[in-house]
C-alpha cells in the first residue's frame, strides 16, 4: 500500500519545527505503524537524509516510550492501544497520515517526535511512593486487602506514564496520570499513612510544572491506551479536599 | 593467571548467607556519605540497588538509556515472581525452591548462590507488598498464587499478566523517594560506553548523553552493572528493541570475565514471526501453559482450521512425552519439543513454524470469566497483534530468544574479576545455570538489588573509606574518553550504504540458525566465519547519518551492533567448547536415543569463564568447577 506521511520535523528544542510531507510507497499492511516508520527511516538514510527521531522501546505496549499524535489522536485512531500496537492494516491505502509529537507546555520537544516527559517523573518523586525501607516490611499476609480494593488499585496502577492523557486534553492537564497513582495508594491500607501528604504534594508539583486544569471533558479517559478511568480523578479530588479540610 | 575464587562461605548450605552477613564488614553512616556508587540500569535490580543503597546513606548515581527509569525492560515481564511462602500449603519450602532452580538449571549453577536467591525470596514479597504493589488477591484478602513451568507447587505471585510492570513501578517509586531525598542522582538518557579502571579497580564510567551527544565522565568508589541481558543478539527477541550488551561487553574488554555466554534461553511461547519487517517478537506469558494445552495435528501438513481438527487427531505432544509435568515442562524442554514438531513437518500456520496453544478445555471447565480474570490482558494483546481471538480458537506460538543465563562472571559477593565492579541479575551469570525457570528473574532481580548487594558492596567499601572522592581529571579518564570518541568518529566516517539495523538483522539470522535452539560443531564453525565476514563488511559499508554531537539514534544502534559482533564470536566459541548438551544449550552430538539432552558431568561440570585477550585475539578459558555438596546430581527428567 501507499501512504502520504505528514510528519513534524524539528531539529532540536530551540529550532522552529514544521510539517514535512513525504510519499512512502513501500508499505505492507502487515507492518506495525512503527515498523512502517523504521522502513521509512531506512529509505531516508539511504537517500542521505536525516531519519525521523521517535521514542520507542519495548514495542509491546507496556514501557510507555512511544508517544505520537497520529491523525488527531494520541497513539492514533484506534482506542485502547499504544502507538507500537497500531498496525498498518488499520489505515487505508493512499491515506494521508499526520504525525506529531505530544503538544503540551510541560512536555517540550527535544527533536522531531521526541518530547521531554521528565515532568511526570518530577510529580512522582514529589510523593508517589510508600515510605517503606528495605528490611522493614511486615509479613505480607499480616495485612489482608479486600479483593475489590486490590483489583481497583491494580486497575489504577497499570498507567504506563506515556502522557497521552495530557496530549488529549485541551488544557494539557495531568489529572488522570496523577490521580492514577494517588488512587492506587489511597485504595490500599499500606498507603493510608501518607495519603494526605501525598495528594497535596503531587498536586502542588503538577500545578508548578505548568499542567492545566481539569474541566471534565474526559478526553483523557477516551484516549488512554490503558483505558484508565476518570473515577480516579474524582477519587483524587475527594482525597485532596479531605486533606485540605482535616 | 587470575585464579577464580568464588568466595563461597564455609558451613552448611542453609547457614552460608547468615554466616556471611554476620562476618561482613560494615561501613558506618558517616562514612557512607563520603562513598560514591554508580549503578548502571534502572530495571528491578538496578533501581532496587540504587534505592536500597540510597536508603543506607551512600551517594548513588543511577544511569539509564531510557527517558525515565520506569521504562526499563523489567516492565515487560508478565507472568509472575516466585517465593517460597508456602501459602498454598502444598509442600513448598526454601529448600524446594532452591532444588527446583538447581535442577531447572540442569546442574550448572552454584549451589550457594541459588540457595541464597531462594532464601531472600520471601523478603522480596513482603517488601513489594509493603510498597503497595497490587498483587492478585483472593476473596479472603490474601495474596493469590499460581504455578509455573518446571515445578509442582504453586509459588508464583502475580498481578494479572503484568507482574513485571507492577514490581518495576514499585521499585521506581522507592527510587523516586531516594531521588527526592537527594541520596540518588538520576541520569536518564545516558548510555554507558566504557568502564574506567584506576590501579586495577573500577572507578568510573564514560557515558554518552543521548540528547546532546556530549561525552560525560562519572566517577565512584564502586560500579554496579545492572544492564540486562543480550537476547537482542538474535535481532528478533522478546526484549525491548534498544536492550543491548554494550555495558557488560565494555567491562569484559576491560578485564571482567564473561561466563557461559552460550547459555541463552529460548522462550517457548512467543507470537511467531509474521513478516520480514518485524522489529521484535512479543512474548505470551508462560503462565498461559497452566491452562492452555499445546498441540499439533497428528498428520503432517494438516491445513485444516484448528477448530475443525477432532480431538483424536490432535497430538498433545508435551503431555505425551512428559506425562509428569505435561504442558508445564521447563522452557528449554518446551522450546525444543516445539522445534522438533515443526522441523518434522507438523507445524501450523502459513509458515509451519508455529504450534497451537489451546484454551478450549479450560474455558469449558472454568468458564470464560475465570480465564479472562487470569489472562485477560494477554488475550487482548494477542488479538491486537494477530487479529485472532484466543477465546474462540487456539493461539499460535513459537519459541523466541528471551533471557541470557550467561553474563559477567561474579563471585558470591556478586563482584566480577575487576575489583569494585559488581554485576547483578541478567548482566551476570550466576543463579540460573543453563536454563532459567519461569518467574525466577523478577525474584532474583529484586533479591540481588534489595537484599544482597547492600551487604556485599559494604564488605568491599569498608576498605575504601580512606579513598577520597575520585577525580575524573585523570589520565585514565582521558584515555577512556578518547577511545570512546575515536570509536564514534570511526563509525561516522565509514559512510557506506547499509544501515546498522540491516547488519543487525543479518547477524541475528546467523546466530538464530547456528547458535540458537540447536547447535552442532560444523554449524558453529561455519557461523564463526560468517560473523567475522559480516563484521568486516560492517566496518566497511555501514552508514550512520548525522553527527556525534546531537541526538542520533542510528549512531546508538551502530555502537551496539559493533559490540554484538564481538559478543557473538564469544558465544559461538563457548558453544563450541561445551561439547555436552545441558539446559538451553543443546549440542546435537550429545543426545539420548529419544532426542533428550545429554549432559557430560565428567568433562563439563564447570562454569566457563572467558578472559578477553583483546580484539581479534582468541579469548582464554578459565574453569570454575561446580561442586555439589547438598544435591545429588542426576539426569534431569520431567517424564
Q: Residues 171-190, chain B: which have Cβ within 8 Å of A?
A: 172-174, 176-177, 179-180, 186, 188
- Quote the cell numbers at residue B67: 527517558
Q: What is the C-alpha to C-alpha distance for residues B450 and B47, in angstroms, rounded to an integer?
A: 9
**Contacts A147 to B, Cβ<8 Å:** 137-139, 141
Please, which residues 535-574 of chain B have a Cβ atom closer than 8 Å to chain A?
A: 543, 545-546, 550-551, 553-554
CATH class of the B475-614 domain in this structure: mainly alpha
**Residues 225 through 244 of chain B touching chain A, CB cutoff 8 Å:** 240-242
Q: What's the pLDDT tens digit per position in A3-23? A: 999 999 999 999 999 999 999
What percent of chain B stands above pLDDT 70?
100
Chain B residues in contact with A134 (beta carbon < 8 A): 51-52, 55, 127, 174, 450-451, 454
Model pLDDT for residues B532-583, shown as the tens digit of each residue: 999 999 999 999 999 999 999 999 999 999 999 999 999 999 999 999 999 9
pLDDT per position as a tens digit, B594-628? 889 999 999 999 999 999 999 989 999 999 999 99
Instruction: State how far residue B68 is from chain A, nearest Cα, in angstroms.
Output: 7
Query: A139 vs B126: CB contact, 8 Å cut-off?
Result: yes
Could B177 and A125 be called an inter-chain contact, meaning their C-beta atoms sit closer than 8 Å? yes
What is the crossing angle of helices A147-157 and A175-186, to 10°? 150
CA distance A185 to chain B (A): 6
* Residue A243 three-state SS: helix
Chain B residues within 8 A of A52 when measuring between CB atoms: none
Enumerate domains of chain A plus CATH numbers: 3-111 (3.10.20.30), 117-245 (1.10.1060.10)
pLDDT one-digit tens code per residue, B394-443: 999 999 999 999 999 999 999 999 999 999 999 999 999 999 999 999 99
Average pLDDT over residues A36-53: 97
Per residue in B487-515, pLDDT (tens digit) is 999 999 999 999 999 999 999 999 999 99
Q: In terms of CA atoms, which chain A residue is nearest residue B138?
A: A147
Residue contact A110–B551, C-beta within 8 A: yes
pLDDT, tens only, B151-168: 889 999 999 889 999 999
Which one of A120, A140, A151 has the shortest CB-CB distance to B125? A140
Q: How close, in Å, is residue A113 to chain B by CA atoms?
A: 12
Return the pLDDT at A191.
Answer: 96
A39 touches chain B (CB under 8 A): yes
- Nearest-Cα residue of chain B relative to residue A152: B134
CATH of domain B13-263+405-464: 3.50.50.60
**How far is B205 from B36, CA to CA, in rounded Å?**
13
Which one of B169, B274, B384 has the shortest CB-CB distance to A157?
A: B169
CA angle A224, A8, A60 (to 5 degrees): 40
Its CATH architecture, for the domain B267-402, is Alpha-Beta Complex (3.90)
**Using CB atoms, which residue from B137, B177, B180 is nearest to A147?**
B137
CB-based contact B277 A65, cutoff 8 Å: no
On the question of pLDDT at B187 being above 90, the answer is yes
For residues B180 and A126, the answer to whether their CB atoms sit within 8 Å is: yes
Exposure b/e, B546-567, CB count within 10 A at least 16 = b: bebebbbbbbbbbbbbbbbbbb
**ipTM passes above 0.95:** yes
Q: Least CA distance to B377: which residue of chain A? A: A226
Cβ distance B66 to A121 less than 8 Å, yes or no, reads: no
Nearest to B76 among A42, A63, A150 (CB): A63
Indicate if the pLDDT at residue A32 is higher than 70.
Answer: yes
| A31 contacts in chain B (CB < 8 Å) | 275, 277
Cβ-based neighbours of B108, under 8 Å, separated by 6 or more: B260, B263, B433, B434, B582, B583, B605, B607, B626
Closest by Cβ to A85, choosing from B51, B180, B384: B384
Q: Is the pLDDT of residue B1 over 70?
A: no
Say which of B110, B314, B331, B506 is annotated catalytic: B331
Which residues lie below 8 Å from residue B291, measured CB to CB, with a gap of 6+?
B359, B362, B366, B371, B374, B375
Of the candidates B202, B218, B613, the one whose C-alpha atom is nearest the C-alpha of residue B410 is B202
- pLDDT range class, residue B2, cuts 50, 70, 90: low
**pLDDT for B14 beyond 70:** yes
Q: Look at residue B264 in the predicted model and tell me its pLDDT.
A: 97
| Residue B32: strand pairing partners | none
The per-residue pLDDT for range A144-191, each reduced to its tens digit, is: 999 999 999 999 999 999 999 999 999 999 999 999 999 999 999 999
Q: Which residues of B touch A27 (CB under 8 A)?
A: none
The pTM (predicted TM-score) of the whole model is: 0.97
Residues of B in contact with A46 (CB under 8 A): 497, 499, 543
B469 is catalytic: no
The reply to whether residue B173 touches residue A124, judged by beta carbons under 8 angstroms, is: yes
- Mean pLDDT across chain B: 96
How large is the average pLDDT for residues A207-234? 97
Rounded to an integer, the average pLDDT of A123-144 is: 97
Which set of grid coordinates corresponds to residue B281?
517478537
Mean pLDDT value of segment B368-386: 90
pLDDT at A128 over 70: yes
For residue B150, the model assigns a pLDDT of 80
- Judged by CB atoms closer than 8 Å, whether chains meet at B70 and A161 is answered as yes
Between CA B377 and CA B489, with CA B235 as vertex, the angle to 5 degrees is 125
Name every chain B residue with its beta carbon within 8 A of the beta carbon of A28: 275, 277
Q: Which three cell numbers stand for residue B47?
A: 533501581
> Phi/psi of residue B356, each to 5°?
-85, 140
Query: Considering only CA atoms, which of B55, B27, B43 is closest in space to residue B183?
Result: B55
How close B457 gets to chain A, by Cα (Å)?
16
Q: How confident is the model at residue B275 (pLDDT cuts 50, 70, 90)?
A: confident
pLDDT greater than 90 at residue B188: yes
Residues B456, B99 contacting (CB under 8 angstroms): no
Partner residue opposite B553 with nearest CB, options A53, A144, A151: A53
B13-263+405-464 shares its CATH topology with B267-402 = no
- Residue from B318, B327, B293, B295 nearest B151 by CA: B327
Predicted pLDDT at B87: 97
Q: Which of A56, A62, A107 to mutate to test the interface with B (most CBs of B within 10 A)?
A: A62
Judge: A134–B132 Cβ closer than 8 Å, yes or no.
Answer: no
DSSP string, B192-254: EEEEEEETTEEEEEEEEETTT--EEEEE-SEEEE-----GGGGSSSSS-TT--SHHHHHHHHT
Pick from B68, B126, B454: CB nearest A138: B126
Backbone angles phi, psi at A164, to 5 degrees: -60, -35
Contact residues, A window 171-210, toward B, CB-based 8 Å cutoff = 184-185, 188, 190-191
Query: B299-326 pLDDT, tens per residue?
Result: 999 999 999 999 999 999 999 999 999 9
From chain A, the residues in CB contact with B283 under 8 A are 60
DSSP A155-166: HHHT-----HHH
- Taking residues B122-133, what's their average pLDDT? 98
Q: Where are the domains of chain B?
A: 13-263+405-464, 267-402, 475-614
Q: How many C-beta atoms lie closer than 10 Å to residue B124's C-beta?
A: 29
Amino acid at each position: 500500500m501507499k501512504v502520504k506521511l505528514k510528519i513534524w520535523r524539528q531539529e532540536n528544542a530551540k529550532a522552529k519545527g514544521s510539517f514535512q510531507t513525504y510519499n512512502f510507497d513501500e508499505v505492507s499492511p502487515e507492518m506495525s505503524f512503527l515498523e512502517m516508520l523504521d522502513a521509512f527511516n531506512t529509505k531516508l538514510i539511504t537517500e542521505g537524509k536525516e531519519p525521523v527521531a521517535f521514542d520507542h522501546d519495548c514495542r509491546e505496549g507496556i514501557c510507555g516510550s512511544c508517544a505520537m499524535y497520529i491523525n488527531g489522536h494520541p497513539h492514533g485512531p484506534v482506542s485502547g492501544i499504544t502507538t507500537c500496537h497500531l498496525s498498518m492494516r488499520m489505515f487505508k491505502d493512499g491515506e494521508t497520515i499526520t504525525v506529531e509529537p505530544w503538544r503540551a507546555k510541560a512536555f517540550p520537544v527535544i527533536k522531531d517526535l521526541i518530547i521531554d516527559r521528565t515532568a511526570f517523573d518530577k510529580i512522582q518523586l514529589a510523593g508517589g511512593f510508600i515510605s517503606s525501607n528495605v528490611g522493614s516490611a511486615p509479613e505480607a499476609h499480616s495485612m489482608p486487602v479486600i479483593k475489590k480494593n486490590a483489583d481497583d488499585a491494580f486497575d489504577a496502577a497499570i498507567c504506563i506514564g506515556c502522557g497521552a492523557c495530557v496530549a488529549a486534553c485541551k488544557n494539557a492537564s495531568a489529572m488522570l496520570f496523577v490521580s492514577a497513582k494517588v488512587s492506587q495508594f489511597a485504595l490500599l491500607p499500606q498507603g493510608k499513612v501518607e495519603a494526605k501528604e501525598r495528594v497535596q504534594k503531587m498536586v502542588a508539583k503538577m500545578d508548578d510544572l505548568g499542567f492545566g486544569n481539569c474541566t471534565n471533558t474526559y478526553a483523557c479517559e477516551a484516549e488512554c491506551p490503558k483505558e484508565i478511568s476518570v473515577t480516579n480523578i474524582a477519587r483524587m479530588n475527594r482525597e485532596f479536599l479531605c486533606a485540605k479540610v482535616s | 593467571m587470575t585464579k577464580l575464587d568464588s568466595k563461597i562461605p564455609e558451613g552448611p548450605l542453609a547457614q552460608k548467607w547468615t554466616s556471611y552477613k554476620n562476618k561482613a564488614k560494615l561501613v558506618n553512616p558517616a562514612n557512607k556519605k563520603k562513598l560514591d556508587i554508580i549503578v548502571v540500569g534502572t530495571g528491578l535490580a538496578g533501581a532496587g540497588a540504587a534505592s536500597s543503597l540510597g536508603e543506607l546513606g551512600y551517594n548513588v548515581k543511577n544511569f539509564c538509556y531510557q527517558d525515565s527509569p520506569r521504562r526499563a525492560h523489567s516492565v515487560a515481564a508478565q507472568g509472575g515472581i516466585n517465593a517460597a511462602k508456602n501459602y498454598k500449603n502444598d509442600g513448598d519450602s526454601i529448600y524446594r525452591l532452591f532444588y527446583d532452580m538447581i535442577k531447572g538449571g540442569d546442574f550448572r549453577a552454584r549451589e550457594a548462590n541459588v540457595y541464597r536467591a531462594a532464601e531472600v525470596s520471601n523478603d522480596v514479597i513482603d517488601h513489594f507488598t509493603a510498597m503497595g504493589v497490587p498483587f492478585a488477591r483472593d476473596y479472603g484478602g490474601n495474596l493469590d498464587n499460581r504455578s509455573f513451568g518446571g515445578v509442582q507447587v504453586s509459588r508464583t505471585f502475580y498481578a494479572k499478566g503484568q507482574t513485571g510492570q507492577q514490581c518495576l513501578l514499585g521499585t521506581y517509586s522507592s527510587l523516586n523517594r531516594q531521588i527526592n531525598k537527594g541520596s540518588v542522582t538520576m541520569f536518564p538518557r545516558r548510555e554507558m560506553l566504557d568502564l574506567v579502571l584506576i590501579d586495577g579497580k573500577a572507578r568510573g564510567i564514560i557515558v554518552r548523553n543521548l540528547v546532546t551527544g556530549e561525552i560525560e565522565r562519572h566517577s565512584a568508589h564502586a560500579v554496579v552493572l545492572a544492564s540486562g541481558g543480550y537476547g537482542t543478539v538474535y535481532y528478533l527477541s522478546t526484549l525491548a528493541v534498544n536492550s543491548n550488551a554494550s555495558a557488560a561487553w565494555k567491562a569484559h574488554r576491560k578485564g571482567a570475565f564473561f561466563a557461559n555466554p552460550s547459555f541463552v534461553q529460548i522462550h517457548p511461547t512467543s507470537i511467531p514471526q509474521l513478516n520480514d519487517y518485524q522489529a521484535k517478537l512479543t512474548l505470551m506469558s508462560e503462565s498461559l501453559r497452566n491452562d492452555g494445552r499445546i498441540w499439533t495435528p497428528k498428520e503432517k501438513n494438516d491445513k485444516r482450521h484448528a477448530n475443525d481438527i477432532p480431538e483424536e487427531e490432535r497430538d498433545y505432544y508435551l503431555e505425551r512425552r512428559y506425562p509428569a509435568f505435561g504442558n508445564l515442562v521447563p522452557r528449554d524442554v518446551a522450546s525444543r519439543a516445539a522445534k522438533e514438531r515443526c522441523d518434522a513437518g507438523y507445524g501450523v500456520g502459513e509458515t509451519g513454524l508455529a504450534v497451537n496453544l489451546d484454551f478450549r478445555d479450560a474455558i469449558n471447565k472454568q468458564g470464560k470469566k475465570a480465564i479472562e480474570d487470569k489472562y485477560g490482558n494477554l488475550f487482548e494483546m494477542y488479538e491486537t497483534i494477530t487479529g485472532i481471538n484466543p477465546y474462540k480458537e487456539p493461539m499460535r506460538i513459537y519459541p523466541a530468544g528471551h533471557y541470557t543465563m550467561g553474563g559477567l562472571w561474579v563471585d558470591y559477593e556478586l563482584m566480577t574479576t575487576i575489583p569494585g565492579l559488581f554485576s547483578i541479575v541478567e548482566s551476570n551469570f550466576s543463579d540460573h545455570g543453563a536454563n532459567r525457570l519461569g518467574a525466577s528473574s523478577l525474584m532474583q532481580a529484586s533479591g540481588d538489588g534489595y537484599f544482597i548487594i547492600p551487604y556485599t558492596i559494604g564488605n568491599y567499601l569498608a576498605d575504601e573509606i580512606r579513598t577520597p572522592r575520585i577525580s575524573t581529571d585523570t589520565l585514565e579518564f582521558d584515555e577512556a574518553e578518547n577511545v570512546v570518541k575515536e570509536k564514534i568518529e570511526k563509525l561516522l566516517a565509514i559512510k557506506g550504504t547499509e544501515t546498522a539495523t540491516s547488519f543487525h538483522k543479518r547477524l541475528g539470522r546467523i546466530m538464530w540458525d547456528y547458535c540458537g535452539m540447536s547447535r552442532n560443531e560444523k554449524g558453529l564453525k561455519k557461523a564463526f566465519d560468517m560473523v567475522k565476514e559480516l563484521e568486516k563488511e560492517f566496518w566497511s559499508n555501514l552508514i550512520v547519518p548525522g553527527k556525534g554531537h546531537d541526538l542520533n539514534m542510528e549512531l546508538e544502534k551502530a555502537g551496539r551492533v559493533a559490540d554484538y559482533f564481538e559478543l557473538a564470536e564469544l558465544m559461538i566459541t563457548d558453544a563450541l567448547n561445551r561439547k555436552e548438551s545441558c539446559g538451553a544449550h543443546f549440542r546435537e552430538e550429545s543426545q539420548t536415543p529419544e532426542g533428550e539432552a545429554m549432559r557430560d558431568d565428567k568433562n563439563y561440570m564447570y562454569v566457563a569463564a572467558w578472559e578477553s585477550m583483546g580484539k581479534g585475539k582468541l579469548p582464554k578459558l578459565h574453569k570454575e568447577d561446580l561442586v555439589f555438596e547438598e544435591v545429588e546430581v542426576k539426569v534431569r527428567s520431567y517424564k
